[in-house]
Structure 1
Amino acid sequence: MVEPLAEQPIEASRDPAADASVTVGSKKFTESVILGDALTLLLADAGFEVKHQSALGGTRILWGALLAGEIDVYPEYSGTLLREILADQRLYGLDALRAELAARGVVMSAPLGFENTYAVAVTAETAQRLGLETISDLRGHPDIRFGFSNEFLDRGDGWPGLKRRYRLPQTRVQGLDHDLAYRGIASSRIDATVVYTTDAEIERYRLKQLADDLGYFDDYQAVLLYRNDLMQREPGAVALLQRFEGAISEPVMAELNGMVKLDGASEQEAAAQLLADRFGLEVEVERKGLWQRLLERTLQHLGLVSVSLTAAILVAVPLGIVAARRPRLGQLLLGLTGVLQTVPSLALFVFLIPLLGIGWLPSVAALFIYSLLPIVRNTHAGLVDIPRPIRESADVIGLTPNARLRLVELPLAARSILAGIKTSAVLNVGTATLAALIGAGGYGQPILTGIRLDDTALIMQGAVPAALLALAFQGLFELGERWVVPRGLRLRPAAA
């Protein structure tokens, strides 16, 4: 390991008794999580109350969360700021960038000391076989299959601009998770991908980075972005954050990435190693056992599902009743809930961030919306399918419409309504795994981390409990059916 920097001891200029709170964010790739954990451990060691919203998602989610005050600081890259976040401003240089950010209430630190830019990479075997040295060489091989991260496919500094600059003829381009692209290139499912230059997998998979001979990719200096009001609220915290400036070299960052991606260390352990090597600071890393982590994730997931599903039942059943009693309005309600169901689940989570922020609240709101359609539709179908003679009999004995609904129609439609609720519950449990992308935790956390680290066992720590929870909810409503549905309606006629 490298020797500690010869600097003054790290101190925080704050009253330990003060109520301090700092929220750190990080993107959903290993390097960003390591840096986020390093910031978190350093602040916590100095006595600050600090929370790390780890692996929140892509660039736009983190940027939006920073502007909205959902997070106070997160690691970013100068090229991303210039070419993606503030691309419409046509800025040049760090000074212009810093001034534009300041106008938005955001402070950019000096570079942390390393650059992590994009590079187009192929396997060494592919490079030798096709004679590839530069990105321009790809023009002579239109059949090459590209696999890029979904974010890179649409970024201002991503594939569209790269294709135009180099006049690349390739059309076989697919989007996938950045970390899964390495699996794809190793298994020969794709021929080329875009890597981050500090990725540990470059060496692991013996990839060759093609020279950017037309200079498309900008410098991507690692920096910290933090809110200007953090300087006013917690100047001591900002002073600690500034100690990272110029403290991390590219080899050091690549080594830390390798600790996690290749050696199986946790991001917190890599972050603690960074603090020890660069600052001579020994911090304790909290290590939770498997069962403790499982209990924590179960409570988080159960909270998301139970609250959103309960709210959906309370809203959707009355909507289904209204839809059955008023046919024209009913078609509108069924159509509206159907349209909401067609919105991609991940997009719905992101759409709600500007309104509700990140974390638990937008996750519950999104899951509530996704739970409506099966319950509304089944309630409507169960009521309208009741034979007319039964309705007329209820009217003949003098039941009011509300009494007829309570005593006759709802009991007869109960099985259909419960079937809709069971369907919503199963869908809700599965969809809730995406809530980890916006900081709500649950079973999605180990699934996303396992995908990022190529760790099947970690993926199973989220996938298996999620499946068991879905079965538990289904069994719970099966038992509820025995209590809600009259016994006579549950009996099936004997076979002839």
Structure 2
Amino acid sequence: MNFLGSPIARKFKNYLFTLISLFICFAQISNAESVGKKTETVTVASKRFTESYILAEIIAQTLKNNTDYEIKTKLGLGNTTILFSALIQGNIDVYPEYLGTITKEILKEDGTLSLEQINKRLLPFKIQAGVFLGFQNSYALAMRKDRAMQLGITTIADLAKHPSLKIGFSHEFLGRPDGWPSIQKIYGLSNLSAKGLDHGLSYSALEKKQVDLIDAYTTDAQLSNEKIVLLIDNQRFFPSYEAVLLYRIESFKDKPNALLALEGLSQKISQIEMRNMNAEVEVQGLTFSSTAQSFIIKEQISSEPLSFMKQLFGPDFLRLSYEHSILVFLSLFIAMIIGIPLGILTFCNPSVGNPMLYVSGIFQTIPSLALLAFLITIFQTIGPLPAITALSLYALLPIIENTNTGLLTVNPSLRESARALGANRWVCLVKIELPAAIPSIVSGIKIAAITATGTATIAAFVGAGGYGERIAQGLATNNTQTMLAGAIPAAIFATLIQALISLYARFVARSRA
């Protein structure tokens, strides 16, 4: 029996050819869009909080207005570690940073360093810091004023007397050297415990009395609220957090006019202006782009908050849909071509296949962001590669398990009849067992597709795009409408994939009937 000539093999080859053709079409569309574009680019990135989004937009628009280069943005990539790694690897060229963060978190220095000392230590990485933007955004600890007065808390040291306080800190602040671990040591606060809370949700949680203490940035728009008070850092723990630009030397070596354009931002943003821009986004609901444009032209642009439908089908909708589709379909395709053979192997040779099944189960237990961080370290890059790899690993378990289960549940009498007629093991597998197991295999693919669609939203945290970009922006600004503008398309996408796979399963069932 020629396995490659069997009906199952022909169907698989046709399906494989269709998928490959689809991805080639996507690639051709992508290449067509890039025809005629400038070859020299500058990629601007940001962290995942309001101020960083705005500053990245100001940087990008300044470069667009003053140079002829193609300017790309990768916004909301994540924490300092991810962005600095992306900078070293050449995935991005410049992003806004703070001297205190460079000193404490990147260079791991306890003391204070001058800009010259910082740049000397960054030189081996081929990275430099420069262009003081004109303001500093220090960390601080904030409480509701009434709660602080009730407990008699005015300084950070006073916290030691109140171990039952409910504390919610951003995840980065909980782990960084100039954050909570060091504050506990300096101020003797080991009797207090804190939980992780996204910074975009912290002020809302503080207002609703869900937490008593949060970490704050001194340019946060919400600090204009008289009901919130900052605790005095009486031991001057927090260093200077003057805002600067961190950039790759190689990226600007042959682009002197780009660096000159960025130097035009030197000392241009005051503390009050930065806080007001944060308020325009978080309180008034304006976009990062329009806020940055208003600052650059020094003129208030008449921009009203977008309605939900306009935000849902905004200019980025097709791009995000394309990126999300690539992430889901490509990861699912990879999971299928690996998972189905592994499922067959598990059925035919459990001693070899079961360990594979166990390993794929372990991947399901690894938190998605942790797996992404691990893959970024392995691949030494951000973007689609680590994201698609992570999604493929998450999609493996249901495909392997359902393929194995489908084969195990085949009626033994069918197998025995085939062997009684002289069919060997492979003929029996291809002609009897696999066709009977198709409903179970398709069910596993359906589960994997839905899982991949939902998990694909985390890809935005490593610059791979997709609907997760909107969700990340909504979290950063505590904007439910923006989060829904990303979550709803992702949910609809998952429903459509489920429907398509179900239709395919019915078609297969009818063709077998």
Q: Same fold (TM over 0.5)?
A: yes
- Asked if 1:32 corresponds to 2:52, the answer is yes
Equivalent AA in structure 2 for residue 196 of structure 1:
Y
In the TM superposition, 1:300-315 aligns within 5 A as 300-315=323-338
Cα distance in 2 for partners of 1:152, 1:351 equals 20
Q: Give the 3-state SS of the residue equivalent to 2:423 in structure 1.
A: coil
Task: Give, in angstroms, the shift of residue 82 of structure 1.
Answer: 1.0
Residue 370 of structure 1, aligned match among 379, 389, 394: 394
Cα distance in 1 for partners of 2:355, 2:312 equals 48
In the TM superposition, 1:346-365 aligns within 5 A as 346-354=369-377, 355=379, 357-365=381-389
- Asked if 1:415 corresponds to 2:439, the answer is yes
Q: Give the 3-state SS of the residue equivalent to 1:87 in structure 2.
A: coil
In the TM superposition, 1:41-80 aligns within 5 A as 41-46=61-66, 47-80=68-101
Cα distance in 1 for partners of 2:242, 2:88 equals 21
Equivalent AA in structure 1 for residue 334 of structure 2:
A
Cα distance in 1 for partners of 2:422, 2:109 equals 70
- The 8 Å contact of residues 60 and 71 in structure 2, kept in 1 or not, is answered as yes
Aligned residues: 468
Q: Which residue of 2 aligns with 1:108?
A: 129
Q: Give the 3-state SS of the residue equivalent to 2:316 in structure 1.
A: helix
Q: Which residue of 1 aligns with 2:504?
A: 480
Q: Which residue of 2 aligns with 1:97?
A: 118
Equivalent AA in structure 2 for residue 25 of structure 1:
A
Residue 179 of structure 2, aligned match among 131, 155, 158: 158
Q: Which residue of 2 aligns with 1:10?
A: none
Task: Give, in angstroms, the shift of residue 204 of structure 1.
Answer: 3.6
Q: Which residue of 2 aligns with 1:226?
A: 247
Equivalent AA in structure 1 for residue 194 of structure 2:
V
- The 8 Å contact of residues 411 and 485 in structure 1, kept in 2 or not, is answered as no
Residue 23 of structure 1, aligned match among 30, 43, 61: 43
Q: Which residue of 1 aligns with 2:266?
A: 245
Cα–Cα, structure 1 residues 324 and 215, in superposed 2: closer, same or farther, change >3 Å? Answer: same
- The 8 Å contact of residues 134 and 266 in structure 2, kept in 1 or not, is answered as yes
- The 8 Å contact of residues 20 and 234 in structure 1, kept in 2 or not, is answered as no
Cα distance in 2 for partners of 1:42, 1:469 equals 36
Task: Give, in angstroms, the shift of residue 176 of structure 1.
Answer: 1.1
In the TM superposition, 1:54-203 aligns within 5 A as 54-87=75-108, 92-203=113-224
Q: Give the 3-state SS of the residue equivalent to 1:194 in structure 2.
A: strand
Cα–Cα, structure 1 residues 114 and 313, in superposed 2: closer, same or farther, change >3 Å? Answer: same
Q: Give the 3-state SS of the residue equivalent to 1:142 in structure 2.
A: coil
Q: Which residue of 2 aligns with 1:324?
A: 347
In structure 1, stretches of 5+ residues that fail to align are 1-16, 490-496
Cα distance in 1 for partners of 2:355, 2:444 equals 19
TM-score, length-normalised on structure 1?
Answer: 0.90
Q: Which moved more, 1:196-205 or 1:160-169?
A: 196-205
Q: Give the 3-state SS of the residue equivalent to 1:431 in structure 2.
A: helix
Task: Give, in angstroms, the shift of residue 89 of structure 1.
Answer: 8.2
Equivalent AA in structure 2 for residue 381 of structure 1:
T
Cα distance in 1 for partners of 2:343, 2:262 equals 54
- The 8 Å contact of residues 160 and 192 in structure 2, kept in 1 or not, is answered as no
Task: Give, in angstroms, the shift of residue 390 of structure 1.
Answer: 2.2
Cα–Cα, structure 1 residues 408 and 356, in superposed 2: closer, same or farther, change >3 Å? Answer: farther
In structure 2, stretches of 5+ residues that fail to align are 1-36
Q: Give the 3-state SS of the residue equivalent to 1:71 in structure 2.
A: coil
Cα distance in 2 for partners of 1:466, 1:300 equals 12
Q: Give the 3-state SS of the residue equivalent to 2:96 in structure 1.
A: strand
Task: Give, in angstroms, the shift of residue 402 of structure 1.
Answer: 2.6
Cα–Cα, structure 1 residues 373 and 205, in superposed 2: closer, same or farther, change >3 Å? Answer: farther
Cα distance in 2 for partners of 1:91, 1:383 equals 65
Deviations 1:80-101 (A, max 9, x none): 1111111158663332112101
Cα distance in 1 for partners of 2:245, 2:52 equals 11
Q: Give the 3-state SS of the residue equivalent to 1:352 in structure 2.
A: helix
Deviations 1:401-447 (A, max 9, x none): 33222211111111111111111111111101111111122111221
Cα–Cα, structure 1 residues 91 and 323, in superposed 2: closer, same or farther, change >3 Å? Answer: farther
Equivalent AA in structure 2 for residue 395 of structure 1:
R
Deviations 1:206-247 (A, max 9, x none): 310111001111111111011111232311111111222222
Q: Which moved more, 1:478-487 or 1:18-27?
A: 478-487
- The 8 Å contact of residues 104 and 110 in structure 2, kept in 1 or not, is answered as no
- The 8 Å contact of residues 313 and 372 in structure 1, kept in 2 or not, is answered as yes
Task: Give, in angstroms, the shift of residue 179 of structure 1.
Answer: 1.3
Q: Which moved more, 1:117-126 or 1:384-393?
A: 384-393
Determine what percentage of the aligned residue pairs are the same residue.
39
Q: Which residue of 1 aligns with 2:418?
A: 394
Cα distance in 1 for partners of 2:488, 2:206 equals 28
Equivalent AA in structure 2 for residue 323 of structure 1:
T
- The 8 Å contact of residues 349 and 363 in structure 1, kept in 2 or not, is answered as yes
- Asked if 1:447 corresponds to 2:468, the answer is no
- The 8 Å contact of residues 77 and 221 in structure 1, kept in 2 or not, is answered as yes
Cα–Cα, structure 1 residues 260 and 362, in superposed 2: closer, same or farther, change >3 Å? Answer: same
TM-score, length-normalised on structure 2?
Answer: 0.87
Q: Which moved more, 1:103-112 or 1:380-389?
A: 380-389
Residue 269 of structure 1, aligned match among 282, 287, 290: 290
- The 8 Å contact of residues 459 and 466 in structure 2, kept in 1 or not, is answered as yes
Equivalent AA in structure 2 for residue 333 of structure 1:
M
Q: Give the 3-state SS of the residue equivalent to 1:309 in structure 2.
A: helix
Task: Give, in angstroms, the shift of residue 488 of structure 1.
Answer: 6.7
Cα distance in 2 for partners of 1:69, 1:205 equals 44
- The 8 Å contact of residues 168 and 213 in structure 2, kept in 1 or not, is answered as yes
Cα–Cα, structure 1 residues 426 and 395, in superposed 2: closer, same or farther, change >3 Å? Answer: same
- The 8 Å contact of residues 297 and 443 in structure 1, kept in 2 or not, is answered as yes
